Amino acid sequence: LKELVGLVLKASSQPMPLSHNILPRVFSFYHHWKKIYGATHLIWFGPKARLTISDPVLIREIFSKTELYEKYESHPLVRKLEGDGLLSLKGEKWAHHRKIITPTFHMENLKLMIPSMGETVTKMLDKWLDMLSSDEATVEIEVSEWFQKLMEEAITRAVFGSSYEDGKAIFQLQAEQMVFATESFQKVFIPGYRFLPTKKNRMTWRLDKEINKSLMKVIEQRREKHCCSSKLERSNECAEAEDLLEIMIRASARQPQQISTSAITLNDIVEECKGFFFAGKNTTSNLLTWTTILLAMHPEWQELARDEVFTVCGARDVPTKDDVAKLRTLGMIVNEALRLYPPAVATIRRAKVDVQLGGCKIPRGTELLVPIIAVHHDQALWGHDATKFNPTRFSQGLAWAAKHPTAFMPFGLGARRCIGQNLAILQAKLTIAIILQRFTFELAPTYQHAPTVLMLLYPQYGAPIIFRPHRIT
């Protein structure tokens, strides 16, 4: 590692102006070091060396060579929340799970969820309308909280379908557990903290047991229902699976009885369910929050997007799958929100063996941090207006938006890229389209623009937005 100390790889991109208004403060250190040491530099985290890599060519190499670089393991406390599923598995077992679960997230399957997604959004907006005192009134909504509740419901429906009521109770426990974890986020780095019987740790352990027990019960009930009526084989061939749980249960029933490393067991299904909630809820609600903030800041884009929604959807309350595909301006806006405010601000890989990267020898075990948010704000990749909201840059598609294909990676890259990407984009476009049909909105005077990182990228002082019912003239 000595070879790496003080190592300065040539900066591959222009210096980026530091703007506290756009970048979360926690990332300001990155700009400082980048100016001094270049786009790729080494930081010591106590005894651990961590290379920060923001050169897109090197990034592509790291994500494409899975035989050389592996996913970094989360802290055990975070891992408890993400479950031992796709998010954290490695090797053959990960590949088997990924193969089984990937088709679930194809648009053909997701489109079946559109009516229930639409219903969830309209129910939320009806509540906002009820909060208005008169027809002319406006209502101030703290959107980040509402969007978290919306996503809790949406993910529960996507995972549990017909077992929704039981699933809801389970995911509420997991939401509680996530609140504890977020509150103790800084403390998780204290060695041994997770073993201390503090009040919050004890609550987390108790919740964990309850979540596992309840999930197992729902899965067994669903399995029994299939087995007893011996419908499983038939349903495998004919019926479309209604939810993620169903797909995984069918897959587990299809495989040979002997347990191999690639078998999907009931315990695995429990862990995958936890992972979907952890990975899908706050990320997607964050995307919704930042998109709404940006549209509130830029009324001209809000107007353009609304016109598009009315042109495409006509009198339909909930856009269809075909409508969603035609909402191009809205798609550009969502991409620009993901670029400026990527919910997952960074990701980490670890060198599995000694490797050569960018002409340097990297010892086995070195951690490689890819600062997604900083790459998204790099002027050398995105032009002089890199920190400005300009959805037009996506008008010719993703491939044309930046100077390098790996410059845009809100969902990660390569084999381990986000499996829920289609679901997140569909949910975001559908939700924002329905909001635009019903309301015009602007920032509340109390809004303070201060993005901050607490596992994900949040608006530090919330997102109060003023909504006014939209009248068609």
Q: Which residues bind ligand HEM (CB under 6 A)?
A: 71, 86-87, 98, 155, 275-276, 279-280, 283-284, 287, 343-344, 347, 410-412, 416-420, 423-424
**Closer CB to ligand HEM, residue 90 or residue 403?**
90
Q: Cα–Cα distances in Å, from 50 out to 129, 344, 359, 365?
A: 50, 18, 17, 10
DSSP 50: E
In what helix (H) or strand (E) does residue 301 lie, and over which residues does it extend? Answer: helix 299-313
Helix (H, G, I), strand (E, B) or coil at 272: helix
**Closer CB to ligand HEM, residue 38 or residue 343?**
343
Q: Cα–Cα distances in Å, from 321 out to 335, 383, 428?
A: 19, 34, 13
Amino acid, single-letter form, for residue 93 = K
**Closer CB to ligand HEM, residue 11 or residue 339?**
339
Q: Cα–Cα distances in Å, from 151 out to 158, 179, 359?
A: 10, 15, 44
- Nearest distance in Å: CB 378, ligand HEM: 17
- Nearest distance in Å: CB 257, ligand HEM: 26
Which residue's CB comes closest to ligand HEM? 420
**Closer CB to ligand HEM, residue 181 or residue 344?**
344
Beta bridge partners of 349: 71, 368
**Closer CB to ligand HEM, residue 13 or residue 282?**
282
- Nearest distance in Å: CB 15, ligand HEM: 26
- Nearest distance in Å: CB 235, ligand HEM: 23
**Closer CB to ligand HEM, residue 38 or residue 371?**
371
Residue 49 · residue 367 · CB < 8 Å:
yes
Polymer length of the chain: 473
**Closer CB to ligand HEM, residue 169 or residue 415?**
415
- Nearest distance in Å: CB 201, ligand HEM: 26
- Nearest distance in Å: CB 412, ligand HEM: 3
For the stretch 231-264, what's the b/e string if a residue is b when 16 or more beta carbons lie within 10 angstroms of its beta carbon? ebeebeeeeebbbbbbbbbbbbeeeeeeeeeeeb
Residue 428 · residue 288 · CB < 8 Å:
yes
- Nearest distance in Å: CB 275, ligand HEM: 5
- Nearest distance in Å: CB 427, ligand HEM: 7
- Nearest distance in Å: CB 330, ligand HEM: 15
Using a CB cutoff of 8 Å and minimum separation of 24, what contacts does 152-155 make? 152/281, 153/120, 154/117, 154/120, 154/284, 154/427, 155/276, 155/277, 155/280, 155/281, 155/284
**Closer CB to ligand HEM, residue 97 or residue 139?**
97
Segments in 229-298 forming alpha helices (H): 232-237, 244-254, 266-297
In angstroms, the CA 417 to CA 420 distance is 9
**Closer CB to ligand HEM, residue 38 or residue 275?**
275
